[in-house]
Structure 1
Amino acid sequence: MKFAKYGLTGVLVAMSMSSFAALDPAQVTDEVIKRGNVQIEVLSQGKGPTVVILPSLARSARDYDQVAEYLMADGLRVLRPEPRGIGKSRGPMENLSIHDFAADVAMVIDQKHAGPVVVVGHAWGNFAARQLAVDRPDLVKGVVLAAASAGKVPPGFNGKPISPEMRKAIDGAADLGLPEAQRLRYLEEAFFAPGNNPGVWLGGWHPEAHEAEGHARNITPVDDYFAAGTAPILDLQGENDAVAPRQFSHVLKNMLGDRVTVIVVPNAGHAMAPEQPKAMADAISEFAKRINE
């Protein structure tokens, strides 16, 4: 059996993803929002206070189908903008900063008359989520950082938040030119908790977005987005996250204080959404409802 190596957890994740893929597509609207030479595809579903989900590096908003279904069932409206270079989202791809990606999200929120929202940034998406809260605080009432690298390290630590070895695994997992076996090893190393099935992320990578988002991360000063304005923050951490490891788990809390609430998701790595969609959605929902009281 293909999933035998990854045990029952991996099989259940794959089965769960298949069951959600069969849901009635009428529950989700798919539209394109335009401004000048930029157009952003956005998936919308549900009614109630709005949650906006921003995806991981070079990946699609469709990674969060299950999470969005749970949030919708819990009385929330969910918007999922696709980054430039993914799906129907188009625009200049050269020399972009995190500010540009945040501005695309702001355009969606403005034109959907959705703000202020709770914005969820998963992995790379956390940079754009925090930047949105800085650049357009009128649109953001709370920020969820899911499997997020803080962007800084604790005082006295001599190194970067993400090591060169881990950066190689992150980029290698997305390199469609590498053998599948090598990419699976990189996915195991960087993205998935032990026992979870990395094969569910072999597909769904977007090289043009990878290059643009990586460039934006490299050229945008961390202090531009680090504090996420003044919004309350939920720091949603994967118990087995190798990219944002436990040794850095208190960086945001220590630097930003009581604005930050930390929740650890068991048996989740950096991918989180395909591993523990219900736990991820429950934490987001509880935070969003508290923020909207």
Structure 2
Amino acid sequence: MKFARGRLAAVLFTVSVSCFAATSSAHVTDEVVKHGNVQIEVLSQGKGPTLVILPSLGRSAHDYDQVAQYLVADGFRVLRPEPRGVGKSRGPMENLSVHDFAADVAMVIDQKHVGPVVVIGHAWGNFAARQLAADRPDLVKGVVVAAGSAGKVPPGITEKPISAEMREAIDGAGDLGLPEAQRLQYLKKAFFAPGNDPGVWLGGWYPATLEAEGHARNTTPVDDYFAAGTAPILDLQGENDAVAPRRFSQVLKTMLGDRVTVIVLPNAGHAMAPEQPKAMADAISTFAKRVSQ
């Protein structure tokens, strides 16, 4: 009986330690990295190979709380730098280029001594992710373009990668001066697959960041970041993405060839992370493990 009780105690202790380890590895620390007149807030959690997640236009890294938890559980360290204007991230906001936003991420990776990393750029964040890979190839071993516009269209097509009508919906979704009902319509149109709740993104918008990132996108030549240097790319697409639509779904693959792997997530739109966090994390994990070998 004593032996049985001893074994039970040992088992309970082991379970307790395992649970504690899992909980502690998922714990999120909040740090600020500084260089000159720029400071970047970084959410950090987990242990293992490092993944860096960059958020969508005018939004926060907190959009990926669930995605990050899944990735940590799968054995990764996840860093989520907040763009300038979000949280504690500060710096000049006028006349920025995509290079500037990529440099902020490079500063984080350099000061945390974690490179090379797999960088995940969601929607607008994919421009900064690809720019980072182009500007600092020493820091990047793989790029995930998640629900991202390629920035170009297939040869022979004259329309823009993102139409004026869709651009209105994207910007309107984050315009806090508009009525909530109108913003919900914009969110539904641009960001969410049919049947998914657009209301979860009514909050979490940062107008100054949206404006600065929009300016950077409009003034930085696409060819500066298009190829993402020479890094392997996962083009992670939403089946119902209205911003990066199916008719443009093979642009990166066609132009960059075997460096690009395409995966399509069912029942996901441009928002992707709140719609399919587990599927998004699983695809990222599989790609990250492959390029980390």
Q: TM-score, normalised by structure 2?
A: 0.91
The match for 1:116 is: 116
> How much does 1:230 deviate?
0.2
Partner Cα separation in structure 1 for residue 58 and residue 24 of structure 2: 27
**Aligned residue identity for 1:277:** P
Partner Cα separation in structure 1 for residue 245 and residue 92 of structure 2: 34
Structure 2: gaps spanning 5 or more residues: 1-22
Partner Cα separation in structure 2 for residue 128 and residue 137 of structure 1: 13
**Aligned residue identity for 1:229:** G
The match for 2:76 is: 76
The match for 1:170 is: 170
Partner Cα separation in structure 1 for residue 171 and residue 250 of structure 2: 26
Q: Tell me: CA distance 1:153–1:28, structure 2 relative to 1, closer, same or farther (3 Å).
A: same
> How much does 1:188 deviate?
0.3
| 1:13-62 deviation per Cα after TM superposition (whole angstroms, max 9, x unaligned) | xxxxxxxxxx8897000000000000000000000000000000000000
SS of the counterpart of 1:252?
helix
Q: Tell me which structure has the larger Cα radius of gyration.
A: 2
Aligned residue-pair number? 271
The match for 1:4 is: none
| 1:180-214 deviation per Cα after TM superposition (whole angstroms, max 9, x unaligned) | 00000000000000000000000000000011000
Give yes or no for contact 2:26–2:69 (8 Å, CA) kept in 1: no
The match for 1:219 is: 219
Alignment of 1:125-140 (within 5 A): 125-140=125-140
The match for 1:6 is: none
Partner Cα separation in structure 1 for residue 287 and residue 108 of structure 2: 22
The match for 1:192 is: 192
Partner Cα separation in structure 1 for residue 115 and residue 271 of structure 2: 27
**Aligned residue identity for 1:246:** R
**Aligned residue identity for 1:115:** G
Moved over 3 A (4+): 23-26
Identical-residue share of aligned pairs (%):
85
SS of the counterpart of 2:289?
helix
Q: TM-score, normalised by structure 1?
A: 0.91
> How much does 1:158 deviate?
1.2
Partner Cα separation in structure 1 for residue 154 and residue 292 of structure 2: 32
**Aligned residue identity for 2:150:** A
